[in-house]
Structure 1
Amino acid sequence: MHEEVAAYVLGVLDEQDHEAFERHLDGCPECQAQLKELSEVPVSLDELKHSPSASEDSR
């Protein structure tokens, strides 16, 4: 379960795995800490997707 934190944050787990991970998360401080650390990843990825690339900046 511990290796599924990133997949959970990115929303790529199927429904069954998502539910199983949430049950695991309730009692696992290690995964809770990892989840807290990774919670900003989707926001950061979205910001990168909408920002101009370095090559566009040099024009």
Structure 2
Amino acid sequence: MHHEVAAYVLGVLDEEEHEAFERHLDACQDCQVQLRELSEVPELLDELKHSPTASEDSH
């Protein structure tokens, strides 16, 4: 279960995996900490994707 924190944050788990991870998350302090640490990753990736330097590097 612990390896699924990143997949959960990125939204790539299927519905069954998502629900199972949320049940696990309720009782797992380690995953709760990892989730807080990784919660900003999707936003940061989106910012990088739309940054002017990212567009320039792809040419």
What's the TM-score, normalizing by structure 1?
Answer: 0.90
**1:55/1:11 CA distance change after superposition, 3 Å:** closer
TM-score by length of 2: 0.90
How far off is 1:56 after superposition?
Answer: 3.1
CA RMSD of aligned residues (A): 1.7
What is the deviation of 1:54? 6.0
The secondary structure found in structure 2 opposite 1:12 is coil
Structure 2: segments with no counterpart, 5+ residues: none
Query: Which of the pair has more CA radius of gyration?
Result: 1
1:17-57 deviation per Cα after TM superposition (whole angstroms, max 9, x unaligned):
00000000000000000000000000000000110126839
Count of residues paired in the alignment: 57
Report the 3-state secondary structure (helix = DSSP H, G, I; strand = E; otherwise coil) of the residue aligned with 2:21: helix
Aligned to 1:41: 41
Separation (CA, whole Å) in 1 of partners of 2:55 and 2:9: 30
Percent identity of equivalent pairs? 81
Flag structure 1 segments of 5+ consecutive residues without an equivalent: none
Amino acid at match of 1:6: A
**Structure 2 counterpart of 1:34, which letter?**
Q
